[in-house]
Amino acid sequence: MTTLEAIGLIGGIASIAGFIYAIYYARSATRRKELQFDVTPAVPLATALSPDDEFSLSIRYQRKGAEEEIIDSAFVRFVRIANLGREPIRNSDIAPANPLRLEVHSPRVLDISGAGVRREVTNFRVVAPELRADGGTALIQFDFLDHLDGGLVKVLTTAPGGEIKVLGDVIGMPEGVKSASEAKSSGLLDIVGCSLGIVLQLAALVLTPLVYRWTTGSWDYVWLLVLPVLAVLLPALLVSVIASTIWPDSEPNFPTELAPPRWFFGRLRSSRMHLYPGDPDVYGWGVSIERNKLKEKSSSASKVPEDSTAGLDQSS
């Protein structure tokens, strides 16, 4: 076997090994539990602001089985909770000492309730809500969550501010439950990996003719070096296909079944246009959801109820 044949053989073996490792890494990287949540912006349902002293407005709010009360305003937010990993999460995986719960830090929480699920068989539910003047909590329970299983939670408050978190310990998730913004990739590995790959490719193209000249002692049949170049381009093409298909996404993608109801997007856009006229990002959150819906036309119909404003009444 000549030196050139040995170089070609080693390059071919390395390319095959790299291809197999890329597939293995892509599969093993997603075989873990990834319980994540995403909170929508607050959207006003009703406000009682009088422009002058000629008349007054009031909002009556009444929970089921409770007394009626007067409030100044009502805002709604939705929280999507889903297992974005490939490893199932069971009810027994929740630590009893630190159960899974949704915590709201807001001036006044009116209601915390379930608004939809991806699959009824998971028995995803919101139980034992505790509503306080300075916030509220509610337990999140389910029998199990397979890949992309989860639920939608509706939070009704009297003010648009405040923080919403999902807390608790899940066995196999020592880093805890992450929000979608926390789970997004910084892109550092992507940049470093691509830059390193380009540098190595250029170095190989430059050094290969020199190695050929040093090995053979002449430039005869140097055109044969085109064959190793093709051997380099083929694995690169295969890696590109892997990256665009089975490689893990850098950003979490929640299932479209957990999207808020359509009326929510209309109110969201209207409120943002009023508060931030001319802002090009006004439609950002809602448009991303709508695009995901178009990508999953074959998915089942959403189970989110349309009537999420029950219990509110505005009178003058």
Q: Cα–Cα distance between 153 and 160 in angstroms, integer?
A: 16
For 2-36, b where at least 16 C-beta lie within 10 A, e where not — what string? eebeebbeebeeebeeeeeebeeeeeeebeebbbb
Per-domain boundaries in the chain = 3-30+186-245, 35-184+251-315
CB hemisphere CA count around 4 (13 angstroms): 17
How do 58-61 and 69-71 pair as beta strands? Answer: antiparallel
Quickly tell me which residue has 């305003």 as its tokens: 73
| pLDDT score, position 296 | 52
DSSP annotation string for 253-310: ---GGGSPPHHHHHHHHHHHHHHSTT-TTTTHHHHHHHHHHHHTTTSPPP---S---T
pTM above 0.85, yes or no: no
Tell me the average pLDDT of the chain: 74
| pLDDT score, position 171 | 92
Contact 87, 173 (CB under 8 A): no
Helix (H) or strand (E) holding 203: helix 188-216
| Other Cβ atoms closer than 10 A to 88 | 13
For residue 175 the two structure tokens come to 């880093």
- Does residue 176 have a pLDDT over 80? yes
| pLDDT score, position 139 | 96
| pLDDT score, position 50 | 61
Which of the pair, 118 or 270, is modelled with greater confidence? Answer: 118
